[in-house]
Amino acid sequence: EAGVAQSPRYKIIEKRQSVAFWCNPISGHATLYWYQQILGQGPKLLIQFQNNGVVDDSQLPKDRFSAERLKGVDSTLKIQPAKLEDSAVYLCASSLDDQVYSNQPQHFGDGTRLSIL
């Protein structure tokens, strides 16, 4: 079974520039998550999709971050304009579903390491 695919692996940009990340989840997984992980911290959920609908985006800085999953499969996360504090690893994960009682674990991609200069 192919895992979660993410690209690019690394990205270096200057502050105020824009950047986009791409994620393709495991086939058949309805739920897709984007997490931000700052060095030394646990992953922080930015946005969660169930098929092509947003389930939770309460921690997404909406003035600069946006994400979409138009056809309910792959997804893109964009930052525009980037700030120094956005330097982090951006992890995409997927799971079969997100129901409270289904006990479905997440599977993560390799992540994109973003550095802002």
- Residues contributing to the site for another protein (CB under 8 A): 33, 35, 40-45, 48, 50, 55-56, 91, 95, 98-111
Q: To the nearest whole angstrom, how small is the minimum distance from the Cβ of residue 81 to another protein?
A: 27
CA 84 to mean position of chain CA atoms? 18
In the complex, least distance from residue 97 CB atom to another protein, rounded to whole angstroms: 9
Between 74 and 110, CB nearer to another protein: 110
Give 17 or 50: the residue with its C-beta nearer to another protein. 50
Measure the CA–CA gap between 5 and 110, rounded to whole angstroms: 7
Query: Do the bridges between strand 10-13 and strand 112-116 make them parallel or antiparallel, or are there none, so unpaired?
Result: parallel
Tokens 């997404």 found at? 60
Q: Which amino acid is at 81?
A: P
